[in-house]
Structure 1
């Protein structure tokens, strides 16, 4: 990734411990990301000039207000809550990204850079949901939501490394998910897994 100036990130949060914790966490990446703390009560009064507004959890009304104020080109939620329904609701209301607080510093910085470049980033990626949020493709075969996500990416033609990059997993974790999925699917090769995925409606729209 070609880098120029650091990505300017405004962190909207009133909890001092959270603010200082994030600033300290990304200090080793100062050449890539600059974090500025903004009190929640005064975020709307700030001048435009940030690349990303990172909000430590917010309701949809606050999200809409921050987007309307155009404090930054992109508003990103940063939360412990990774319920797929809440993530999808936020993304459907204009969030440019949704990042879990479980992310380490390196992954968080990389995600912010990707969002700054125009990508829509959700980490961890939400599991593939059907109309019923408690179901997903392959569940009847015993696949977990995460395994279902991995098989969908395999069916879409992604390599193990591409899956690892998109799902923010290590390559060994991806291989482990693939092995456990293959056992449940009753296949022993990638080509058979792709055919199985197509037959079981794992194709992306």
Structure 2
């Protein structure tokens, strides 16, 4: 069973999420909290596998709570949920250590799939959020990506990535899944998975979300 903690100041939303998750054979809601401080404390006590975290709450917000949870228990995965497409806390939440960022109007099936994905060690970022983040950072990103001129590691690429690994990093930053990356690069999903692992290892990153953050912060992507 995947244990889930709900942290949201709206009781009706918590009730709705609870009904959706408890209907799944492999998911169980182990607790609910109405603010970030209580959520962080309950995460420490209940040791859930996944926390669904609201952003805007009275007192301790979801960003601060996420930082506490990740620091206290790194194995607990946090998925941040928000009502807003362009939330000023979105990027901060991912930097705080969240493994996912979804909108609250996400379909129940997508939410359930996201919980299973982050529990398996991967990360989830809504493509809508990825596009919005690109818009947010477009003015500060370089007009051209780092030069790519060979299949071997080059100083111009972050972390000494090869050309193919650099292409995979760019695709991750766009919010593409392994299947979509495989289609773009004309390789198998297994090959993409291998490249993703090498990118994360070379850059010292935990998961795909951190790869997205890294790409934005280091200007390795070119806005459309």
Shift of 1:70: 2.3
1:38 aligns with 32
Normalising by structure 2, report the TM-score. Answer: 0.52
1:106 aligns with 109
Shift of 1:202: 7.7
CA RMSD, 1 decimal: 3.8
CA-to-aligned-CA distance 1:117-147 (integer Å, 9 cap, x gap): 111111235117278436999xxxxxxxxxx
Give the distance between the partners of 1:100 and 1:22, measured in 2 at CA: 13
Give the distance between the partners of 2:139 and 2:80, measured in 1 at CA: 23
CA-to-aligned-CA distance 1:3-50 (integer Å, 9 cap, x gap): xxx211111123221111111223432x12212332235334331421
Give the distance between the partners of 1:135 and 1:90, measured in 2 at CA: 20
The structure with more radius of gyration: 1
1:110-149 aligned within 5 A: 110-124=113-127, 125-127=129-131, 129=134, 132-133=137-138
Distance 1:44 1:155, change over 3 A: closer
1:49 aligns with 47
1:43-192 aligned within 5 A: 43-46=39-42, 47-57=45-55, 58-70=61-73, 73-83=76-86, 86-124=89-127, 125-127=129-131, 129=134, 132-133=137-138, 156-158=181-183
Structure 2: gaps (5+ residues): 56-60, 143-173, 185-219
* Aligned-partner SS, 2:49: strand
Structure 1: gaps (5+ residues): 1-5, 138-148, 160-200
CA-to-aligned-CA distance 1:149-178 (integer Å, 9 cap, x gap): 599x9995526xxxxxxxxxxxxxxxxxxx
1:8 aligns with 3
Give the distance between the partners of 2:76 and 2:107, measured in 1 at CA: 24
1:180 aligns with none
Distance 1:111 1:9, change over 3 A: same
Distance 1:130 1:116, change over 3 A: same
